[in-house]
Structures are given as structure tokens and as C-alpha cells.
Amino acid sequence: MERGGEKDPQQILTKIASDYITHINFVPSMFNAFVDILTPGDTGKLSGLKYIFLAGEPVLPESIKKFERLESGVILENIYGPTEAAVYASKFPLGQWAGNGSIPIGKPLGNVKLYILDRGGDLQPR
């Protein structure tokens, strides 16, 4: 890949196909740019790709819908975790999203606990 190619959706698509990449992690803004260049004819280039993980920013429902229309078979996961720790704490399989409303951060990963606090810092019920 050329220098800076990690910012070029077309180069990323080419690399996925040529190197048989099976898993890729995008920040949602880069995923949005990636989805924008995809056409139905590109699904063959994604044939080895099994998972796309989205993390670091809120996911835009429009991009998920557009990607799902390609019927690529790639599993999309919304992954969440504190950026400061550079770890993932939860995931939500986007195939379970009903297509309307906000996209959840999901459930805790194995051996992880999540605590949800309100704006006042009070623990919220499950």
C-alpha cells in the first residue's frame, strides 16, 4: 500500500482483496468513506472479509444500511471501550440492529463488567 493508503478507501479495498484480509477495524468516519466508494460489483473483493469492527466514534445508521444493501455477508460489530485504555469493553452485532434509532454499544465482552452512570455520576439500573 502506498504511503497514506490507510486513508484511501480504494487502496484499502484493493488491499483487502489482494491480501485476503479477514478482519478489519475502522473508525466510523473512515468506514463511512469506505462504504461511499463501494458498488455492488465490489462485493467479490470483500469475499475473504469476515468481520468489520467499528470503534472510536458513534456509528451512523445510514452507513450501516448502505453497507447491508450490498449483501456482502461481512459481519459488522460496533465495538466500544475507553479510548484512554485502548481496550474494548463491549460489542453489539450490527446484524441485530432493527434499522431505526440509535445504535447500542452492546453487552460486555467476556470477563468485563460495564457500569452505566447518569450525568450526575449515579449508577443506573440494568
Number of folded domains that form the chain: 1
- Name the DSSP letter for residue 96: G
- Residue 31 dihedral angles phi and psi, to the nearest 5°: -60, -40
- How far apart CA 31 and CA 52 sit, in angstroms, is 9
Is residue 120 domain-resident? no
Is 123 a domain residue? no
Confidence of residue 84 (pLDDT cuts 50, 70, 90): low
Q: What is the DSSP string of 16-57?
A: HHHTT--EEEE-HHHHHHHHHH--GGGGGGGTT--EEEE-SS
Helix (H) or strand (E) holding 9: helix 9-18
Sign, Cα dihedral of 79, 56, 73, 2 = negative
In a domain, 114, yes or no: no
pTM higher than 0.85: no
In a domain, 69, yes or no: yes
> Is 21 a domain residue?
yes
User: What CATH number is given to the structural domain containing 104?
Assistant: 3.40.50.980
Chain segment 49-71, per-residue pLDDT in tens: 999 999 888 888 999 999 999 99
Q: Is residue 100 part of a domain?
A: yes
Domain limits for position 66? 5-108
